[in-house]
């Protein structure tokens, strides 16, 4: 198992594999580093946009990005912190995910918590 700063590095060939993994690991507090193939590499991989949407569905968020090698970069994926503010970009993404029926219970719980604590932007 490869790690960076004590956090596991994992790779997925596509969005379905990441979603299946996160569905059973969303309670993991340390998060993970996703090993994402660069577009020019031609390697099958989940994309950053797919990872971001899937993360939001389960109450997680993408954050730091780090270089890995010629073919890959690393994208940190962690549970959303309980006091973190929601950007208007992520609010719009979540609204689209809700409309598409993709949001999962952990992600919906994070939205409820954000609205109750005032971390959800007002329209």
Measured between its terminal Cα atoms, the distance across the chain in Å is: 44
Give residue for tokens 């689209």.
Answer: 96
Reported as a single tens digit per residue, the pLDDT across 30-83 is: 899 999 999 999 999 999 999 999 999 999 999 999 999 999 999 999 999 888
**122 lies in a domain?**
no
Residue 98 has pLDDT above 90, yes or no: yes
Phi, psi for 60 (deg, rounded to 5): -105, 175
Phi, psi for 79 (deg, rounded to 5): -60, 145
Under a CB-based contact definition with an 8 Å cutoff, are residues 118 and 86 in contact?
no
What is the pTM assigned to this prediction?
0.93
Under a CB-based contact definition with an 8 Å cutoff, are residues 120 and 111 in contact?
yes
**Domain total in the chain:** 1
Q: Mean pLDDT score of the chain, rounded to an integer?
A: 94
**44 lies in a domain?**
yes
**What local confidence, expressed as pLDDT, does residue 1 receive?**
78
Reported as a single tens digit per residue, the pLDDT across 13-26 is: 999 999 999 999 99
**123 lies in a domain?**
no
Domain that holds residue 54: 3-117
**What local confidence, expressed as pLDDT, does residue 123 receive?**
56
β-strand partners of 35: 11, 74
């Amino acid at each position: 198992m490869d790690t960076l700063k004590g956090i596991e590095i994992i790779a997925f060939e596509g969005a379905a594999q990441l979603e299946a993994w996160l569905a059973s690991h969303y309670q993991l507090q340390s998060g993970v580093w996703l090993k994402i193939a660069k577009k020019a590499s031609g390697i099958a991989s989940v994309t950053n946009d797919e990872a971001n949407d899937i993360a939001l569905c389960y109450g997680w968020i993408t954050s730091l990005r780090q270089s890995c090698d010629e073919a890959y970069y690393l994208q940190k994926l962690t549970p959303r912190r309980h006091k973190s503010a929601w950007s208007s970009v992520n609010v719009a993404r979540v609204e689209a995910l809700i409309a598409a029926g993709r949001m999962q219970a952990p992600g919906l719980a994070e939205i409820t918590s954000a609205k109750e604590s005032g971390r959800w932007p007002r329209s």
